[in-house]
């Protein structure tokens, strides 16, 4: 098991657009395992490949308290969205910053698992938030991009300050 390094803002590599996965091989399955391990250790409830500087369309998620319901979504596509919810979000790539983000309240997502099996999932509440947040990463979008320019600026300032303090 390899623990992967998570990129943090303002790293420009977080803006990279991920490419679809075309081969479901052992290497991909090992990468999915490493992603889960890295997410659990962080700890976090979701991680996109973009965040570990691997630009393929793969995200891992586990919102369960027991950390025993891992999901791996490869080439995920949201095919239906409904309603509105506002939820406070954070991100392993934006340490120490939390902000309310408006998102769809339910989503239907089509994806492949790490073995290449086609799947479909309907999600609401936190899982819907998480799916939308992680799929955003694959498009080079972080949750701060959903905030007003002023709120984003304040968040970036706070982030810079915390980075200085931790040096």
Length of the chain: 167
The answer to whether 140 and 9 have CB atoms below 8 angstroms apart is no
- Told to check if 91 binds Ni ion by CB under 5 A, we report yes
Q: Exactly one of 110, 134, 160, 162 is catalytic; which is it?
A: 134
What residues have CB less than 8 Å from 20, skipping those under 6 apart? 56, 57, 75
Closer residue to Ni ion (CB): 41 or 117:
41
With CB under 5 A as the contact rule, which of the stretches 14-22, 89-97, 106-114, 122-130 interacts with Ni ion?
89-97
Closer residue to Ni ion (CB): 28 or 91:
91
A 10 A CB-CB count for 158 gives 13
Per-residue x/- marks for Ni ion, 96-135, CB under 5 A?
Answer: ----------------------------------------
Residue 6 dihedral angles phi and psi, to the nearest 5°:
-95, 125
Active site residue 134: yes
> Can you tell me whether residue 18 is helix, strand or coil?
coil
Closest approach of Cβ 50 to Ni ion, in Å? 9
Closer residue to Ni ion (CB): 6 or 32:
6
A 10 A CB-CB count for 90 gives 15
Measuring CA to CA, which residue among 73, 136, 75 is closest to residue 104? 136
Closer residue to Ni ion (CB): 24 or 54:
54
Residues that bind Ni ion (CB under 5 A): 91
Task: Please list the active-site residues.
Answer: 134
């Amino acid at each position: 098991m390899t623990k992967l390094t998570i990129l943090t803002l303002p790293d420009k590599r977080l803006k990279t657009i991920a490419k679809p996965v075309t081969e479901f091989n052992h290497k991909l399955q090992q990468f999915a395992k490493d992603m889960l391990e890295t997410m659990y250790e962080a700890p976090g409830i979701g991680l996109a490949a973009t965040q570990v500087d691997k630009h393929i369309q793969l995200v891992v998620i586990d919102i369960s308290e027991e950390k025993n319901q891992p999901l791996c979504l490869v080439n995920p596509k949201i095919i239906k969205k409904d309603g509105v919810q506002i939820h406070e979000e954070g991100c392993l790539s934006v340490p120490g910053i939390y902000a309310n983000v408006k998102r769809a309240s339910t989503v239907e997502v089509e994806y492949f698992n790490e073995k290449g099996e086609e799947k479909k999932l309907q999600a609401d509440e936190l899982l819907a938030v998480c799916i939308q947040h992680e799929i955003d990463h694959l498009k080079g979008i972080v949750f701060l991009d959903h905030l007003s320019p002023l709120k984003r600026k304040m968040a970036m300032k706070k982030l810079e300050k915390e980075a200085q303090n931790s040096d």
